[in-house]
Amino acid sequence: MLEILSLIRQDGDPSWCRSVPNWERGPWLETLLGLRRARNNERPRIISSHLPLHLFPRAFFRSKAKV
């Protein structure tokens, strides 16, 4: 899924996918390092997570995020 979203974000250009590691393109939300990386990434952001839905912050559901 990360590869597909990365390609969509770059209009099909695979050079970004090949040059930037997965953990930088789609950092894990549930790790401190991942959260810091996600906040610093330019928009639109790609964020990875295995958190159960009920553990997401309530603000997430009021946002315009696409899941």
Residues designated as active site? 50
25 in Cβ contact with 1 (< 8 Å) = no
What Cα–Cα distance (Å) separates residue 54 from each residue in 1, 26, 66?
Answer: 22, 21, 17
Residue 38, both tokens:
């996600």
